[in-house]
Structure 1
Amino acid sequence: MVDAPTVARRLAPDGRNLGIDTARGLALFGMMITHIIAFTAEDGSFTRAVWFAGRSSALFAVLAGFSVVLSTRRVLARPGGRAWAAAASGLVLRGIIIGVIGLLLGLVSSSIAIILTFYGVMFVLAPLFLRLPPLALGLLAPLWLTLVPVLSMVVRREFGLETSYIVPTPGDLVTPGPLLTDLLLTGYYPVVPWMGYLILGMFLARLDWRAPRTAITAQLIGLGTAVLAKAVSSLLLTAGGRSALEATLGPVPAGEPGSLEHTLTTGSYGITPPDSWWWLATAGPHSATPFDLLHTAGLAAAVLGVCSLAAIVLGERAWLLAPLSAPGSMPLSVYTGHVVFLEISRLAPIRSLVELMIHVGLAVLFALLWRGFASPRGPLEWPVSSAVRAVQRRVLGDSRPTPGDTRDPVR
């Protein structure tokens, strides 16, 4: 029989950064809100669900950078020239598995944009940045978030690439060219500009998150960046961007789907149209413009700071964060379960708020029971991590078991 102190230790193990898990839990629940709660009410007004549009998935992507660093730290610490190859091989395999799960989930649901396939591609590309020192990552991240969306616009205008509304499935593998275009440039989570989130996460993961100063600084700089990005975007739209964009959209009543107000509030399905350079001045959700990326990246850093500071302040009582940190410690399992259950629940529709409470409640209950009584790894995380460690050992030429990453150590 497992006693209460043992369960508490399993929910808040020594050496694990529960602030990161807590932030990941918030990202998961934020995405659940956007999947279940409509952005507009019956009277045409916007609901509070729009507060999470684009922001939760951005936080999820920034935390991918943490996963890259934390999952490769022990391997990269090994002596010898094969350490990077082993770490890179593990990331590529992890990305492929996550991507395949995303494609399979595309068969389950076509009503929501599955992030996992795009997420997997980001892991496959992550080894390109593994050897960069913290300073280089810290400088590259804001440059990427600012300049790459402009490059994306240039490419999309040159080749006439429009927004893709498809949810990738295994069937799309027979047309790899269009699929790769969707994943990199025109999909709901376009990897090329979104890699800026991952690079930012890799930089943040190198910081000392045991220090309150780091958490507070992340809050201040992150929130300041988010507010400044929105303010500059608003000024540019007022200076002529709004009238120019409304002219390109045509006579759509304000607030109606397709209007500029609706687009800037609810989202652009991943990217903006390539018909006007003024779109780069907007900061609407899922628009992948410089101001959208900087705004959401800043909020992600601020949320990480708040969650990490909460874990520091709670100390030995950090297990109180378990309703968020436990689901956040097994994001692949919780996200997959949510998508599957979302389709099942739609067979018998109920009020959206009740449905959301059921999804969140089941995710919390499952994660608490699994982590407290079964395993520190989620049911999908465990086989993925085992496969990754096996590949890393093979590349290292080491028959000894690679230490498991049941903890997320932080400097």
Structure 2
Amino acid sequence: MTHEQEIEVTRMPAHHEVGAAPDAAVAAPVRNTGAPSKPRFLGVDVTRGIALVAMLAANIYDPLGPDGGPSLAGMTVIGRSATLFVMVAGISLAFITGGRHPVQGRARRAARANIAARAVLIGAIGLALGYVATISVILAYYGAFFLLAIPLVGLRPRTLAGIAGGLVVVSPLILLASYALGWSPAFDPLTLTSPLTDPVGFAQQLLVTGDFPAVTNMAYICAGLAIGRLNLSSTTVARRLLVGGLATAVVTWFVSWLVLYPLGGLQHLLAAGAGATPDQVVWDSETVPSWWWLGLLVHHSGTPLDMLHTLGCAIAVLGAVLLVTKLPAARRLLWPIGVAGAMTLTIYSAHTPLADSDLMGDNLLARYLVIMAVALPFAVLWHKYLGQGPLERFVAAGANRARAAVLAAPDRSGVDRRGGHLAPVPAVPRTESRPSDRRIGSDPADRPASDPPGSTAR
């Protein structure tokens, strides 16, 4: 039983599952029980863990080194790590809503309530961290992403991919238009009082002008939602993700090089004030009102090439990890990264006050290694003795209560939103009510990470 099979819905067999193949008619019952024999998908956890490790490095290092040239982090993880982080969040949203077999009817409404609660709680954590963080915290933006994703969870993978592609085309134009309107990039810390003191500026920063604006990052959420509807246990799917992601990353890099150098885009951008030096333009420039800007791959710039390139890299990493974690030896080796990947909210939150602090002085490598030397053993030991991470448990508890409230509410209409009649749901014995509730529309991320390969619990 794969972990995508997460709920059991009983409904009259009159319609097709949303997001399933056209010939996947709904049966009664549709079995999707979420049996915990494989509590988590290690490949996805490891991918999330890699995103976390890379994100910590991106938050500690600058894109340019002391000599003015690109740093190693600037050439590898800055920008790409955030895209991977957000894309995997989209995959988690797909799992919450049924994975390959999207939930329907009341179960879907319950899953949407789950996502809404997660959005509020994660966003609140991010806003609280704004008081102590030394970096721009992505969690407040995550809350916005999750809320915006709620209407999208019932869409088919192809539709989601189409929306992602549309955002790749449209969002750079929105960014250019916002610049023309005088909406300069906003990097002020977002806190719990921001929605109250400046609601318009708060929304503007989350949606368009901030470090991780929804207008661009929702493309990664949609891509993750679409990928999460695939059979990620399939070797063929993993290979296609790897090859397709690599091809996208390489082609976009070549196109950017062509625009900047043979076609002269770099000189136009220097003249437009995108940067003081060629390296600054290429690796750390700001948005400028020039069509040549669209040819850049600058981190977090939101250009079409940047979005496609980082998304291609993210998809390739996922595909590679899914393939590698099929090997028993690799599963054992990467299991600690997977455990950290199941505890990203806690570890990420804990590092935010330290990333740009005086810890280890100017020795950025030492600062990074100290944080990692604490984070990984902490994750493994906490998982071994206490299971789910502390912040993950807090968010899961609130999200599960929201889901349970929807499931417990009486359905007075007896008709789902598409007009199909819902079959009666049998009463659940008291002794089984809580475990059963957790299975309906639940997120695999709410359960502890799987034990190391070779143990009795997989």
Same fold (TM over 0.5): yes
Counterparts in 2 of 1:277 and 1:40: CA distance versus 1, 3 Å: closer
Which aligned pairs between 1:63-78 and structure 2 lie closer than 5 A?
63-73=88-98
From 256, 273, 282, the equivalent of 1:264 is 282
Residue in 1 that maps onto 2:339: 326
Residue in 1 that maps onto 2:79: 54
The secondary structure found in structure 1 opposite 2:352 is helix
Deviations 1:277-299 (A, max 9, x none): 22122111110111100000000
The secondary structure found in structure 1 opposite 2:221 is helix
Residue in 1 that maps onto 2:402: 391
Distance in 2 between residues matched to 1:151 and 1:54, nearest whole Å: 20
Counterparts in 2 of 1:358 and 1:267: CA distance versus 1, 3 Å: farther
Distance in 1 between residues matched to 2:339 and 2:91, nearest whole Å: 17
From 108, 115, 118, the equivalent of 1:94 is 118
Distance in 1 between residues matched to 2:296 and 2:66, nearest whole Å: 27
Say if 2:305 is the partner of 1:291: yes
Counterparts in 2 of 1:396 and 1:295: CA distance versus 1, 3 Å: same
Q: Deviation of residue 353 (structure 1)?
A: 1.1
Distance in 1 between residues matched to 2:236 and 2:124, nearest whole Å: 40
Q: How many residue pairs get matched?
A: 382
Distance in 1 between residues matched to 2:281 and 2:190, nearest whole Å: 23
Distance in 1 between residues matched to 2:238 and 2:191, nearest whole Å: 39
Counterparts in 2 of 1:165 and 1:17: CA distance versus 1, 3 Å: same
Q: Deviation of residue 153 (structure 1)?
A: 2.3
Please identify, of 398-407 and 306-315, the stretch whose mean Cα deviation from structure 2 is larger.
398-407
Say if 2:320 is the partner of 1:309: no
Deviations 1:340-360 (A, max 9, x none): 3447x6266262211111111
Which aligned pairs between 1:1-400 and structure 2 lie closer than 5 A?
14=38, 16-50=40-74, 51-73=76-98, 81-109=105-133, 111-157=134-180, 159-173=181-195, 174-238=197-261, 239-249=263-273, 253-254=276-277, 260-266=278-284, 268=286, 272-273=287-288, 275-314=289-328, 318-342=331-355, 346=358, 349=361, 351-375=363-387, 377-397=388-408, 400=433
Q: Deviation of residue 21 (structure 1)?
A: 0.8
CA contact (8 A) 2:231 2:237 kept: yes
| Residue ranges of structure 2 left out of the alignment (5+ in a row) | 1-35, 410-427, 448-458
Q: Deviation of residue 101 (structure 1)?
A: 0.8
| Residue ranges of structure 1 left out of the alignment (5+ in a row) | 1-11, 255-259
Counterparts in 2 of 1:276 and 1:355: CA distance versus 1, 3 Å: same
CA contact (8 A) 2:249 2:308 kept: yes
Amino acid at match of 1:64: A
Please identify, of 131-140 and 98-107, the stretch whose mean Cα deviation from structure 2 is larger.
131-140
Amino acid at match of 2:43: G
Distance in 2 between residues matched to 1:46 and 1:288, nearest whole Å: 19
CA contact (8 A) 2:167 2:215 kept: no
Counterparts in 2 of 1:232 and 1:342: CA distance versus 1, 3 Å: closer
Tell me the TM-score normalised to structure 1 length. 0.86
Distance in 2 between residues matched to 1:406 and 1:185, nearest whole Å: 29
The secondary structure found in structure 2 opposite 1:395 is helix
Distance in 2 between residues matched to 1:253 and 1:246, nearest whole Å: 7
Please identify, of 394-403 and 282-291, the stretch whose mean Cα deviation from structure 2 is larger.
394-403
Q: Deviation of residue 267 (structure 1)?
A: 5.5
CA contact (8 A) 2:69 2:279 kept: no
Identity %: 32
